[in-house]
Structure formats: structure tokens, C-alpha cells
Chain A
Amino acid sequence: MAMVQPRSIRARRLGAHLALIGFVSLIVFPLLLVISISFREGNFATGSLIPERFSLEHWALALGIPWERADGSVIQPPFPVLLWLWNSIKVAVVSSFLIVLLATTSAYAFARMRFKGKEPLLKGMLIFQMFPAVLSLVALYALFDRLGQLVPWLGINTHGALIVASLGAVALHIWTIKGYFESIDGSLEEAAMVDGASTWQAFRYILLPLSVPILMVVFILAFVMSIMEYPMASVLLVDEHKLTLAVGAQQYLADHNQRWGNFAAAAVLSGLPITAAFLICQRWIIGGLTAGGVKG
């Protein structure tokens, strides 16, 4: 505790609170606005934050239910939002699972074993993870285009391609898990190996059960990154029913036809679970993100 305190502390405290409240309301305004708009009637309704003419139209459409207006006209849902969300989740779950699998085994080797080329490999990974995938899109497109002619489920416009392509981004996760492994004392595994366990068994039965928390964190981190992935999905996916949410959502705000209200409902519907997941796991996610230095 500070021993020496300046005078007029109350005035300064009040000022700090006022400044923070002002700033927070500025920051949160867009988010509240979108929630409000999602309950307004029509696509270009204006008004106060609490909607005067409350309507569930946009929410019904976002959930894929045709909506009947008061004048009897029926509006069909413009886009399959739930399908996009499902696509996103499907791709994210599978790719995060694979990423955790790959990252864990390599992190184990990097943390516990001595072998040729370890140091350059680790440093190389750090360097290469800074190269944005956008720049290699032409090459990735060509790769999957040609692969698709031989292996159909890896071609353009498949989720397989998107999942497989995400495996390039394991470097960051390897570093995270490696750091955790190094914080665990190796004597347990040593004891197991003295008793006749193989390296794999020591890893599988001793170290892995101890590392479940970090694996969860990496899974969530990879999941969030995959949900937000835009450039690769925008090039690899073509058909409307194959799109992920990140690519599909922008269609609401196409230049010639902006469906502001419909977008708001879809955005809240799909953004809320992700935001909630992020806030619940914020302690671990933030640790991982700030260590790596990037947010996807």
C-alpha cells in the first residue's frame, strides 16, 4: 500500500470514474446498438437504444423461420445463418482437435528430447508463423485445386481443404504447450521409465494427464482462431451452403442491398456464444494470446 498519498484524492477518484464510464459507454455503444437494432422492425429503422416498435422479425429470420408481417406478406430467411454457424463449428472443432493432437506430440519432443535440428526448427517456426496466409493464397488455391482433381474431398469448395490448411498454423500452439511441459518436473516420467515404461507410455500416461488444462486452453484458442478465419475460407469455399460464418456474414451488408436489421440479429445470435466463451475462458486465452503476440 502506498504510504504517501497526495491530497484531493476524492476529486481525482471521481474524475477517474467519470472518464472510465465515459470511455466504456463509447466502447460498448456499438454492441448495444446492434442488440437494439436486432429487435427493431424493418431493415432501416432508427430510434433510441430501447426499441419503440419491438419486433422479433429479424430473430425469426436468423433462426430460419419465415416471418409473416402484419400486412400478411411472408418474408423468407435471406441466408442460411444456422447452417453457416454449423459449418464454422464443424470446421473449427475438427481442425482444433487435429491441431491439439499435432501440437502436443511435437511440444513433447521439443520440451523433453534432445535431437538434431531442434533449435533451428523452433526458431524457424516462430519466424514462419508471422507470414500471413493471405499472401500464399494463390499457391494454396493452386495446391487444393490440383489435389481436388485426385482426392475429391480435398478440393476447392470442401471443408476438408479448409481443415487441412489450418494445420499450417501449429507453431504458436507448440510454443504454448512446450512452455507448459517445461514447467512440469521431469522426474515423474523418469521414474516411470526406470520402471520400464517406454517414452510414449511416459508421455501418454504420466505427462498428458497432467497437462489437460493447457490442452483445453489450446483447443479453445485454436477454436476461436478457426471461427474467425476469413481469407482462406473466402477463397477455398464457393457455394452458399458451404460457407463459414465469417465469409457468409458479410453478404448481409453487400453494397447494393444492406440488410442491417437481419444482420444485427444474425450477428448477435452467432457472436454471443463466441463472445461468452471468450469471456469465460479469458484468463487462459489472454495468457496464450499475449505470449504469442498476435490475435487472428
Chain B
Amino acid sequence: MLSFYGRKVDSRLLMGTSMYPSPDILQKAVRASRAQIVTVSLRRESASRQSGQGFWKLIRELDVHILPNTAGCKSVREAVTTAQMARELFETPWIKLEVIANDDTLQPDLFGLVEAARILAADGFEVFPYTTEDLGAAERLLEAGCKVLMPWGAPIGSARGLNNPYALKTLRAWFPDIPLVVDAGIGAPSHAAKALEMGCDAVLLNTAIAKAADPVKMARAFAGAIEAGRQAFEAGVLEPRDMASPSTPVAGTPFFRLD
């Protein structure tokens, strides 16, 4: 069974909670997806509105593991402070560590990521690093104390799927025992199925469900695709080949003549 830092989960879908049409649809989508881990963030709160308090109640009702993120942080210091605040706020040592390098691609700053991961792991955090498919960075992250890797499929919110399946395969082969979560860029259930078929352990996505015309139905679609992809991986997917290979027996072909 898949586990993250000793916590076992049945579901291989980690779900973001942002951009849903309403809190009610968010709750229904999480339930339909059967996700057991949801991501959340921390943001400035206006004292007069205190809208975070209602969101906290809603998340508690879902009875799922909470994975806070450091979304938007651009420096090691910002990410570390945000993680410390998240640990107190959400009462969990889990942190989805994001240190962002570029506003347009939202790609991780791998140097800052490794540095922040090292500081946080030493301080008792259980770090889920949002990284690229870079093998060298992955090695550094594990050496820094991470026990999960979360390479991007494509830039956050881009819905492009798996930009570099070759590199994801390499990561899978190189780290057979590290939970590998494709985080970001998943646009369709087929992208998620592909990640699971390749042997990735799980996917983390938000926009593809939240921005669907019917998020609850899309959550169900992703749950099905992820389950199918995992079963296919366990069953053993055929390697592609260049030439055709008849599936119907050749022996006994009618009207067959040796030329």
C-alpha cells in the first residue's frame, strides 16, 4: 500500500482545493474523487472578514490528511517561515514545499528548494518537494531528508500533461522505493492514467477538476483513470513495437498457401 512518511493511503490522488465554484462543490468533488490527501495554503486574512475560519471548518469536515503548501514563496526564508506557520496552523508536519523561480512558468527554484528542504527536514518537517524531473535535484532532495518526490508533469495549471515522460521514467527507475507523485500540469484523466501506467505512485492536481464544467463528475473521472492506470502498471503494460504482430492465430489461416 502507498504511504507517505508512514501514513498509509488507499487513494493515489492528491487533490488541490482551490478555484472551485463553491465550497459545497469542493466538498462533493473531494468525496467523489475518494482522495485522502488535500492541499491547502495560508494567506493573509482580513481581520474584518476572517474567511479562513470557515474554510478551516470545511476542511476538517472532510476528514482527510491535510498537506499545506508554500505556494508563491520565492525565497528560502519565505518558504521556511511559511512552513513553520503552516505546521502550527494545520497541526501537521507535512509540507508541500514550493520555492518558485519564475512567474511565467512557476517552475521550482531547485537550488532554493534543496536548501529549504534541508532546513525543514532538520527541523522535523516531512517535506513533499515540488520539483522538476531533474535527476540530480532529486538526489539532492533525498539527501537533504525528503522521503517523497513530486516532479512536475508540466507547468502548474497548464493542462499539458506529461511534458517529459522519459525523465519521469528515469526517476522511477532510479528511485524504485521513493513515493513519486506527479504534481502539476495534469489536464485530463488520460494524463493521470499515463503517469500511473508508467509506475508513478500518485498524482496531485487541482485545476483540471476545479475548472471542469462539472467538477464532481471530473473528480470521479480522475478517480477511475488513476485506478485503471495503477492496475495496468501492476498488470504489466506491453512495450510498443514498430511492426504489426497478428493477434489471431496464424496457424490454420484459411486459403493460406506457401509461396
Asked if A and B are interacting partners, one says: no
A binding-site residues for B, Cβ under 8 Å: none
